[in-house]
Amino acid sequence: MLSDKQNLIMIVEDNPVNAKVLFEFLQASGFRVLVAKSGESALEKLQLVSPDLILLDVMMPGIDGFETCRRLKEQESTRDIPVIFMTALSDVVDKVKGLTLGAVDYITKPFQPEDVLARVNVHLKLCHLNQKLEQRAAELTNTVAQLKQSQKRLVESEKMSSLGQLVAGIAHEINNPAGFIGGNLTYAQKYMQDLIDHIHLYKNQATAPEIVQHAKKIDLDFLLEDFPHILTSMQQGVERISDISASLRTFARADSTVKIPFNIHDGIDSTILILKHRLKACETRPAIEVIRDYGNLPEVKCFAGQLNQVFMNILANAIDALEESNDGRSYQEIEKNPNYIKVQTNLTEDKNSIVIKFKDNGLGIPDDIKSQVFEHLFTTKAVGKGTGLGLSITRQIIVENHGGSIEVSSIRGHGSEFVITLPI
């Protein structure tokens, strides 16, 4: 016996004497044995049982052994069962025909018990080894696929980590000169006002022709009126740079090893600011409006940098979807039905989780691919436009790293909505 579980042998033999001899010998050798008297009977029994090996007579009434073997190999449920032909024929052509049809061996009548047992055991062992090899191959294939997926995710995470460090460094470098300029502008505005007041005093007393002429030449009145506006604009520009710097620092928070309390709205706002260049109006369309509908949320313990990556992926995809929906539409048509992205946040009723919704009014996701959007490497974008990793990593960050959930709902022609739930 090859294992604790007895192997089942099917004998297909129309000669009752031969069938009995084989039945008793194999049963005495420790096998379970099933007998079929014809090819038709064997095919019928095989719908109910699955033997480990079949001993198949060639010459039978009705369908012969060759035809029976051919039908066995056609069916998925029986094609892998080893078949040993039993034949009194010594013609090589018949033996070759049997092996060609898928048989693994043949036994020549009259039977030699030791020969039958040896061949049966060898082919059962080969079959079991083959099954193990196929199982190992499948496991290896699955392992390789998982390793490739993990490698892709590690590469993407490493890219995001490196990007975060780069962005944080840039933000720091921007912040220093911006702070210097902003601080000096405060004094410049005070000094400017003092100088303007002093010039007004000179202007009221100055009567010398060359001073009057020079005042007209430089349009002194306009200069005194416009100069404060210039400094105010410069101040606003510096404040804008400072806001961008702060948003970059928020977006690039390096906290990959530990969860920290984080204001979700800060993360969303910083991501929107970074993507602002893609939201602005251009020659082909008006600006994409971002509608914020924020609830009163507490801080959430999370990997802030990872969540910012999620917001980036979803918002960038929404912009892509809107731009795709604009293909073939004129500026005026888009203006009548303007692009928008709505971001809504709120607490769940039990106040144990927060819900973040991102909705756009693009074309939506076709029903046949909606279930695939979070799959690894799945993308509908053209080659070079997308890797298929964004939403896969997004799902991993939300579900695996934060114990939350992410779902997508979409109606073709009416946009898409991604709903994230995060435990507090």
Q: Is 54 within 8 Å of 81 (Cβ atoms)? A: yes
pLDDT at 257: 64
Upper half-sphere CA count for residue 253 (Cβ side, 13 Å) = 25
Cα 15 versus chain centre, distance: 61
pLDDT at 406: 93
Give the helix/strand (H/E) hosting 27: helix 16-28
- Helix 220-251 to helix 264-274 angle (10° resolution) is 120
Q: CB 176: neighbour CB atoms within 10 A? A: 10
pLDDT at 376: 55
Q: Is residue 379 part of a domain?
A: yes
pLDDT at 101: 86
pLDDT at 386: 46
Q: Which residue matches tokens 């030699």?
A: 112
Q: CB 152: neighbour CB atoms within 10 A? A: 17
Largest CA-CA distance found in the chain, in angstroms, rounded: 142
The identity of residue 161, as a single letter, is S
User: Based on the domain organization, do 280 and 240 belong to the same domain?
Assistant: no
Q: Is residue 234 part of a domain?
A: yes
Runs of H (alpha helix) within 218-263: 220-251
* Tally of domains within the chain: 3
Upper half-sphere CA count for residue 355 (Cβ side, 13 Å) = 14
Q: Is residue 136 part of a domain?
A: no
Q: Which two tokens stand for residue 116?
A: 């039958």
User: Based on the domain organization, do 293 and 238 belong to the same domain?
Assistant: no
Q: Is residue 126 part of a domain?
A: no
pLDDT at 2: 42
Q: Is 350 within 8 Å of 390 (Cβ atoms)? A: no
User: Based on the domain organization, do 279 and 417 belong to the same domain?
Assistant: yes
Q: Specify which residues 10 forms β-bridges with.
A: 34, 54
By CB neighbour count within 10 A (0-12 exposed, 13-18 middle, 19+ buried), where does 25 fall? middle
Q: Which of 250, 274, 307 is the last residue of a domain?
A: 250
By CB neighbour count within 10 A (0-12 exposed, 13-18 middle, 19+ buried), where does 357 fall? middle
Q: Which residue matches tokens 């007004």?
A: 200
Q: Which residue matches tokens 């929107």?
A: 272
pLDDT at 361: 93
CATH number of the CATH domain containing 20: 3.40.50.2300
User: Based on the domain organization, do 242 and 261 belong to the same domain?
Assistant: no
User: Based on the domain organization, do 424 and 277 belong to the same domain?
Assistant: yes
Q: Is residue 321 part of a domain?
A: yes
Exposure pattern of 50-72 as b/e (b: 16+ CB <10 Å)? ebbbbbbbbebeebebbebbebb
User: Based on the domain organization, do 257 and 282 belong to the same domain?
Assistant: yes
3-state secondary structure 55-123: EEECCCCCCCHHHHHHHHHHCCCCCCCCEEEEECCCCHHHHHHHHHCCCCEEEECCCCHHHHHHHHHHH
The identity of residue 145, as a single letter, is A
Give the helix/strand (H/E) hosting 290: strand 289-293
Q: Is residue 139 part of a domain?
A: no
Q: Specify which residues 74 forms β-bridges with.
A: none
User: Based on the domain organization, do 163 and 274 belong to the same domain?
Assistant: no
State the 10-residue block means of pLDDT for the chain, 424 residues long: 68 90 90 92 90 91 89 88 82 72 85 86 88 85 75 59 60 72 82 82 76 83 85 82 72 65 91 86 92 94 86 90 90 92 94 94 81 63 48 87 91 89 92
Q: Which two tokens stand for residue 160?
A: 């995001």
Q: Is 53 within 8 Å of 9 (Cβ atoms)? A: yes
User: Based on the domain organization, do 210 and 341 belong to the same domain?
Assistant: no
**Domain that residue 45 falls in:** 8-111
Gap between the Cα atoms of 215 and 213, Å rounded:
5
pLDDT at 394: 87
pLDDT at 383: 40
User: Based on the domain organization, do 104 and 230 belong to the same domain?
Assistant: no
pLDDT at 382: 47
User: Based on the domain organization, do 267 and 226 belong to the same domain?
Assistant: no
Gap between the Cα atoms of 375 and 361, Å rounded:
23
User: Based on the domain organization, do 63 and 167 belong to the same domain?
Assistant: no
Q: Is 79 within 8 Å of 73 (Cβ atoms)? A: yes
φ, ψ of residue 416 to 5 degrees: the values are -130, 155
Q: Specify which residues 106 forms β-bridges with.
A: 85
Q: Specify which residues 107 forms β-bridges with.
A: 86
Q: Is residue 117 part of a domain?
A: no
Q: Which of 233, 250, 267 is the last residue of a domain?
A: 250
Q: Is 25 within 8 Å of 2 (Cβ atoms)? A: no
pLDDT at 69: 92
Q: In what order do the strands lie in the sheet with 289-293?
A: 289-293, 340-347, 353-360, 416-423, 405-410
CATH number of the CATH domain containing 399: 3.30.565.10
Q: Choose among 324, 327, 322: nearest CA to 338.
A: 322
Exposure pattern of 120-149 as b/e (b: 16+ CB <10 Å)? bbebbeebeeeeeeeeeeeeeeeeeeeeee
User: Based on the domain organization, do 209 and 280 belong to the same domain?
Assistant: no
